Amino acid sequence: MKEPFVPNHLHLIVKGYVKNPPRKEEYLNDWLKRLVEKVRMVVVSGPTSVYVDEPGNEGITGTVTLATSHAAIHVWDRSEPPMFQFDIYSCTRFSADEVLEHINEFELISCEYIYIDRNGETMNVVEQKKISYEIS
């Protein structure tokens, strides 16, 4: 008999700065697919990425709907340095380190994140950090 699915309710929210921001929709879609695979989740729709060229808000947005929730990233590539905001919510276990390693494909300068367990009646902070990366 197959074990019943017991969901987790994990939410990672990241804000940071990168040296090499994504700009192409196809590239960001591929990046989201690889992220989902890396953290053992299942795509049910998407990914979808769109580049916005509105003055002051230039950048790319990508989302993917998961069997266990979602992941989304917004990158402002013309800010100095380029800024991003990212979040992933899932009923599957994943680590902040796995996700940050994947985001580092954009060459992280610095970031801060909060990792929340939303299971039960209250939200609990699992981990919260600010990180600066070596600039070479």
pLDDT of residue 4: 63
| Domain formed by 10-132, architecture | 4-Layer Sandwich (3.60)
Alpha carbon 109 to chain centroid, angstroms:
16
CA-nearest of 79, 5, 14, 69 to 39 is 69
Which contacts of 121-129 are long-range, i.e. CB under 8 A and separated by 24 or more positions?
126/10, 127/96, 129/96
pLDDT of residue 7: 64
pLDDT by residue, tens only, the chain of 136 residues: 777 655 678 999 999 999 999 999 999 999 999 999 998 888 999 999 999 999 989 999 999 999 878 999 999 999 999 999 999 998 888 899 999 999 999 999 999 999 998 887 778 888 898 999 865 5
pLDDT of residue 132: 93
Q: What is the largest CA-CA distance in the chain?
A: 57
Could you report the per-residue pLDDT of 21-52, keeping only the tens digit for each? 999 999 999 999 999 999 888 899 999 999 99
| Annotated domain spans of the chain | 10-132
Whether residue 28 contacts residue 47, with contact meaning beta carbons closer than 8 Å, is answered with: yes
